[in-house]
Amino acid sequence: MSTARNLTTAVLAGAVTAAVASFAVPASAAEMEKCYGVSLKGQNDCAAGAHSCAGTATIDYDGQSFKLVPAGTCTDMETPFGPGSLEPIQRPT
C-alpha cells in the first residue's frame, strides 16, 4: 500500500481543479475591453484625446479616459454617473 492512498482521489482532484480554476481569469489584453468613464483619477490606462496617457486622468469617472477591464463587464459597472461605456462619453457633466 502506497502513501498515495492516504489522500483520496477526490482531495487531489479538488486541489487540482481549484489550482486550474485560478487561471480562468482573463490574463491578456485580448480578453479585455476599453471601458470609458469608470476609472478614478490617476488610475486610467489611456484616453481619447483628453490628455496624454496612462495614469494622467485628473478627474474621477472621466468619460474620455478608459481603463482595460475583463471583456463583457464594462457596461455592468456602476458609477455615480451611470454605467461604464465602450465609447468615449461626456461626463461628469
Partner 1 sequence: MLRSLSDVQADFAAALRDPAIPPPAGVVGPDGGPAPRRFAVYRNNVLVALGNALAGAFPAVGRIVGEEFFRAMARNYVLETPPTSPVLLDYGVTFPDFIAGFEPAASLPYLPDVARLERAWREAYHAADAKPLGAADLAGIPPEDLPDAVFSLHPSLRIVPSRFPIITIWRMNVSDVPPSPVDFAVGEDALIVRPDAEVEVRVVPPGGVAFVDALAAGETLGSAAVIGEASDSRFDLSGNIAGLISAGAFVDFRRQPEPAPW
Contacting positions for partner 1 (CB under 8 A): 2-20, 22-24
What is the distance between the alpha carbons of residues 74 and 86, in angstroms, rounded to a whole number? 7
Min dist CB 72 to partner 1, Å, is 21
Q: Which is nearer to partner 1, 7 or 29 (CB)?
A: 7
Min dist CB 1 to partner 1, Å, is 10
Q: Is the dihedral of CA 62, 28, 25, 33 positive or negative?
A: positive
Residues sharing a CB contact under 8 Å with residue 13, sequence separation 6 or more, in sequence order: none
Min dist CB 16 to partner 1, Å, is 6
